[in-house]
Structure 1
C-alpha cells in the first residue's frame, strides 16, 4: 500500500511525521544530527525524547506560536538550544507566522517547504539568520545524506516525483515563448493544475534572477492568479505613509509587472496624483496606464503596467531591474 497516496502528499502531517521519525533514532545513531546538518542547522546532537509535534517555543501561552515540530538540540561548541520546524506544502508561508514560531535568540528554525510553497517563498523573507529554508530538492538531498531514503519507500518516490515536477515546471517556464503552457502527464495534478504550477515556476525563476536586489518578494495567490510583490522601504512616502511597490503577476497565462501605490492613510487624491507622476516617469520604459487604476477592495492604485508576454524569466528580470532603478530615482526620495 502507498501510504503517502492514502494520506495525501498535500497534508503537512505526512512530512512532519517523517522528520519526527528520522529525529527519534537510537541514542547511538548519528542520523538525527546528520539530517539537521544537511538541512543547514548547526546541531551535533538531538535529544530524541524531546522531539514532538505541535510544540511551542514562544513565551506566549495563547495565540499563534506553535511549531509543527520542536526538539532540544546541542549546537557545535556544546551550547543547548531548541529547534522549531514549520512545515508547508502548498499553503502560504509568511514572515509574521515564522517570527511568531520562536522568540528566543538561542533557538533555531526551519521552514520545510516541500510543495508549491517552495516556489512561492523568497528565502530572504526568513525572520533572521537563525532560520533555514529547505525546499523539496534540499529535503531529498538531506534525507539521502542522512541515509534514510532507502527506508522510506513510497515517501521517497513521492519526494522524487515532486522534485521532477518542479524541475519540469521551471524548465517549461525558462523556455516560455508566447504563453505559459500546462504541464503534460501527471503535471496536471490532483493538488494543483499544471498551468498554475508553471505560472508559479515562472515567477520563482524570475525572482531568482533578482537576488541581487535588496528587497525580498512575497508570494500569494489571488483570484486573478499567482502574484509576488516587493515594497522597498525607501520608496515609502514620508509625508503620507503611502507605499510604492511592484507586483508581478500571471493573469490568464500572461505575465505582467505593475507599479502600485497604497497603504498609508488611504488618501485617494494623494495616491492618484502620486500614481500619475510615477506613470509619467515610466512612459519611456514601455509601461501603459491601466484603464482601471483604483482597486477599491485594497485601496490601491495601479500607476502603470508592463506586459511581459513572451519574455522568459531572465529577460523579464532585466525589465524589472530597469524599473527598480528608475523608481529609485523618482520614488526613492520618499517625498
Structure 2
C-alpha cells in the first residue's frame, strides 16, 4: 500500500473522500455515526470507549498499513462515511453509535469500555432532529420521532410534543429539552455528562445508559393544576354572612400520597370550613376540617391529561 499522510490542525471529519483503509492518529475524542464504516473498525489504545456496536475488546488488530493516514495536531474526529476499514489510534474517548460498522469492531488496549447491545428504533434521517458535530443546536415543534445526536455540546429543544419520542444521544455535553403533554420520552445515553430536561406533563425513562453521569431532569407536576378552588377564591365567593366553603391547598409535607399511596410530585389537601364572612374574610369560625383529604397528580380528578392545554384551546378559538 502507498502511504498517503495528511496533517490537520483542529477537528477532522471522515466523509467518504478518503481512500480506505483510513487511520486517525492521536485525536482527542472520536465520534462514529450509524452506518459510517463500510468495513472493520478498530480502536487502538483508547482511554474510554462507549459503544452500542458489538465489540471484541481482546481481538488483536491485524490490519496492515493504512492507505490514508491523518495526523497532526488533531482535536476531535467525526466518522460519517468511509467505504472500508477505519483505525483510530491513541484517542482519548471514542463514542460509537449502534450499527456503526458493517464489519468487526475491536478495541485492543482500551483502558475502559462501556458497551451495550442497543439499537435505536429509527434511522438517523427519520428523527425530527439529527445532529452531528460540535456545539450544534436545533429545534422541532410537534415532533413525531425524537432526536439523534452524535458529538458534543448539542443544545436541542422539542416543543408541543404529543407523541411518544426516543432520544438517542451519543457523546457528551448534550442538553435536550422536551416540552409537551401526554407523551413518553425514551432515552438512550452513549457517553457521559448528558442532560435531558422534560416538562411536567411528560414521563421520561432511561432505556439504556452506556456511560456515566447522565441525567434526566423532570419538572415536577405543578400542584396548582390540581387546585379546583383556592382559599382566596373561596373566601371571595363567600361574600357576607354564615357560609360553608370548600377549597384546596398544596402541601409540601408529603412525598407519598396518603390517598393512593404513590410517590407524588404534587399533593393537595381538601379543606372545608363553616364561618361568618365579612367582605370576603372569615371573622368567626364555627367548624373546620382537622384531617383534610389528600389527592395527587395520580388520583386527583383534576389531573386531566387533555390533548390541548387551556392556553392552546384559547389560541385555537381566537
Q: Output the TM-score relative to the length of structure 2.
A: 0.24
More strand by share: 2
Q: Tell me the TM-score normalized by structure 1.
A: 0.23
Larger proportion of helix: 1
Query: Which structure has the larger Rg?
Result: 2
